Structure 1
Amino acid sequence: MRCTKWSMSKRTSLILIGIFLFLGYKSAFFTVTRQHCPEEGNHKGVRVQESFQGANNNDDPFQIPPDHILKSMPYEELTSLYHGFVNNVGVLCKNIVRLGKPTDGGWEVCHDQQYRPPNNCLVYSAGINNDFSFDDAIAKQYGCEVHSFDPSMKKKSYRRSEQVFFHNIGISAVDVYIPANMTGWEMRTLGTIKQKLGHAKRRVDVLKMDIEHWEWKVLPQAIASGFLDAVTTLDLELHSWIRNKTYIYEPPAEFYLGYLRTLRQLHQLGFRIFLTHKNLGSCQFRSRFGMMRTSCQEIAMVQTKMKMGM
């Protein structure tokens, strides 16, 4: 009787071992098959892997690959990568302070010790549209010297308060005066403005720009000139559109390539998004790929690789 029980128990054990071995073999088979799947390897899998190899940091959920990969990506993937990147946070700020209006017009700074505006802080605020709520608030909160720029308001340069100065100047990628029969605006690069105001040896603690798509010309020039090396906080409204008086259209693929190159350069400099939100309302449009998008994305970034000495 013991022999019969032992035999049944042994048979049961052998059956269970066989099942486990079969499941293990099946799992290994499918793992190997997926790793060598040519369709996956030649499509998204390769791009994701190469993008991580080409990046300096692996701390962001959406990383922007080098140009040779970007240029091979389909239009839809470019749009998804852009909107995915600007919608995700890359660094934790434990204490975010909003300055100015709680609605459109207010902007954020990170109050954590390593990023907060210090004593004698310097702020450049470009794109005012007659709303000085952020400029006044950051001057009051931190005692910053604030320089506000906007050529579209048809106001002469003036001293708004003890700490806030308005300049009838626009921010551009080149120094140019637009003729009076067009806009009559004086346009200057950030580097030229910094020299002109006597701030060459000072750090710009906060740079805020809401300049209606001009950011995509200004930012590459500011990166190339080294201006952004001495900026701590970067508040931006990013505009991704083709616009006429009535409608907003999705930009073509080459526009997204330019957007992504600039965002990748900002990432390489050490800038990380700590807050992001969509500006909806009139900025919404339906993508040609079916989903609703916004062409106006407000992001707040901090420099995580700060070079001291300025």
Structure 2
Amino acid sequence: MEERNIDSAQSELKHNKDKANGDLNPKKDVHCIRAIEKFRNKDDTFFIPPDVKLAALPNSVSDCLYQRITTTIQYACAKRSRHGSGKDGWNICTDGCYKPNNKTVIYVLSIGNDYENSQSIDLHYKINVIRHKPRIKGTDIYVYQKNKDNLGGQSIKLGTWIDAVKQGLNDQNILIIDVESLTESVVDHIMMSGVLNVIHQFSIRISYGDPVSGIDYLTALQQLRMIFEAGFRIYGSRPEWPCIIANNKDRTSCVYLDMVYHKCRDLSKR
């Protein structure tokens, strides 16, 4: 587990803003750059337009906007800790009110084996980490609680699992989602349930497409907009290049986003 200080966080924020403003080839992408300027906020982040305008965008412009949205840091988390090793490790923002306390619960829905991550969390914070693995049965998604060997016991429907997450009374709860091709379905359930209303941090490995067919930009941008409208801001972005698009080596269909709610939750209302 490692922590980072405010200087490194601010440096990363500046680096990512610089990257977002200048990593395209002007000769190749000049029209795209001009097209997305109208989606730039005053703080150099970008917003996603309503569905009607979004659906009308040329694919090249959607691609450009998606790249900017997923690589631009929106919030400077001065301190953070990392748990686990390699690309599947978890980041936790530990700034002020975001720092986990003894009532914090971390809910995880993931495909991979993240037992090492949960052990690191337990060692450092002594808080409850509840891990589940999703599987499709017919047309429904079921989840299985994980144990040390990444195997689960009895299954419950995704909706039942989400209801259990919503029961948490501490608004410092953390939600981690890493479900590969199930991203769209799982995010749909999460947004419809209002579960983000009781979550303080939200990390998700988005996967809207695959290296062969490319990225479903419309769905990706629609769902990201809903997450932002729910009050969450990106403090960490990690594109995963093993998911690189076959016909566009500058894009990847998998990006790991770490987000926090844009302000401290008012726990006094609980």
**What residue is the counterpart of 2:116 in the other structure?**
133
Matched, 1:144 2:127: yes
1:223 maps to a residue whose letter is M
**Which 4+ runs in 1 deviate beyond 6 A?**
43-47
**Residue 202 (structure 1) shift:** 4.0
**What residue is the counterpart of 1:275 in the other structure?**
236
1:188 maps to a residue whose letter is L
* Structure 1 unmatched runs, 5+: 1-42, 170-184
Matched, 1:293 2:251: yes
Matched, 1:259 2:220: yes
**What residue is the counterpart of 2:193 in the other structure?**
225
Larger radius of gyration: 1
* Structure 2 unmatched runs, 5+: 1-31, 136-142
**Residue 296 (structure 1) shift:** 1.2
SS in 1 for 2:97: coil
Alpha-carbon distance change, 256 to 119 in structure 1, aligned in 2, over 3 angstroms: same
SS in 1 for 2:87: coil
Alpha-carbon distance change, 58 to 114 in structure 1, aligned in 2, over 3 angstroms: farther
- Where does 1:105-116 land on structure 2 (aligned, <5 Å)? 105-116=88-99
**Residue 128 (structure 1) shift:** 4.7
Matched, 1:248 2:212: yes
For the aligned residue pairs, the C-alpha RMSD in angstroms reads: 3.0
Given that 2:203 and 2:256 are in contact with CA atoms closer than 8 Å, whether structure 1 keeps it comes out as yes
> What is the TM-score with the length of structure 1 in the denominator?
0.65
Alpha-carbon distance change, 81 to 168 in structure 1, aligned in 2, over 3 angstroms: farther
> What is the TM-score with the length of structure 2 in the denominator?
0.73
1:301 maps to a residue whose letter is M
| Equivalences, count | 229
The structure richer in strand per residue is: 2
**Which of 58, 66, 81 in structure 2 is aligned with 1:74?**
58
CA displacement, residues 72-91 of structure 1 (integer Å, 9 cap, x when unaligned): 21011111111211111100
Distance in 1 (CA, whole Å) between partners of 2:101 and 2:43 is 27
Distance in 1 (CA, whole Å) between partners of 2:237 and 2:110 is 19
Alpha-carbon distance change, 158 to 139 in structure 1, aligned in 2, over 3 angstroms: same
Higher relative contact order, chain-length normalized (CA < 8 Å, sep 6+): 2
Given that 1:124 and 1:204 are in contact with CA atoms closer than 8 Å, whether structure 2 keeps it comes out as no
**Residue 272 (structure 1) shift:** 0.6
Distance in 1 (CA, whole Å) between partners of 2:166 and 2:219 is 32
**What residue is the counterpart of 2:167 in the other structure?**
199
**Residue 143 (structure 1) shift:** 1.5
**Which of 105, 110, 119 in structure 1 is aligned with 2:102?**
119
